[in-house]
Amino acid sequence: MMNLQTQFPTSSQDEIMQNMKNWLTETLGDSADFMIPELAEMFLEDAPPLIAKIQTGFNIGDGKQVKEAAHTLKGSSASMGLHAFSSHCKKIETFAKSGDLAESAKSFPMLEAEYAQVKIVLEELVE
C-alpha cells in the first residue's frame, strides 16, 4: 500500500529544515533560533484546521472557502520558508479563484503529502 509520500514527491525533511532555517535567519536575523520553535508551534496549531477547511470546501463545492483557506496557508507557510508547501497552496488558491475546483483539487493530495513531511520537522522543533 502506497502512502502519500511515495505517491506524491515531497521535500525531504532535511530540505524543509534547511530552507526554513535559512529563510527565517535571513528574515529574523539573530532572533531566528529563539523564534523558530514558537513559529513552528503556531503553524502546527493553525495549519490542520485550514487544511480541513480546504477539504470541506472541495466536498461541498465552495470555491470561496477553498480559496480563502489556501490563501491563508500560503501566506503563513511562505513566511516560515516552507516554499514547496506554499507553492501547493498557491496552485489550489489560483484554480479555486478561477472557479476550477476540479483542477484545484488535483493539488490537494500533494499539499497533504508535503504537510506530512513539514509536520514531522516542525514537531521536532517544538519538543
Specify if 94 maps to a domain: yes
2 in any annotated domain: no
Range of the domain at 116: 11-126
Is residue 125's pLDDT more than 60?
yes
pTM attached to this predicted model? 0.87
Residue owning grid cell 466536498: 59
Residue 56 forms part of a structural domain? yes
CATH code, 112: 1.20.120.160
| Domain-embedded: residue 5 | no
**Would 30 be classed as within a structural domain?**
yes
**Alpha carbons 82 and 62: distance in angstroms, whole number:** 26
In a domain, 102, yes or no: yes
* Count of the separate structural domains present in the chain: 1
Tens digits of residue pLDDT in 44-59: 999 999 999 999 999 9
Helices (H) and strands (E) in the chain, counts: 7, 0
Q: Is 65 helix (H, G, I), strand (E, B) or coil?
A: helix
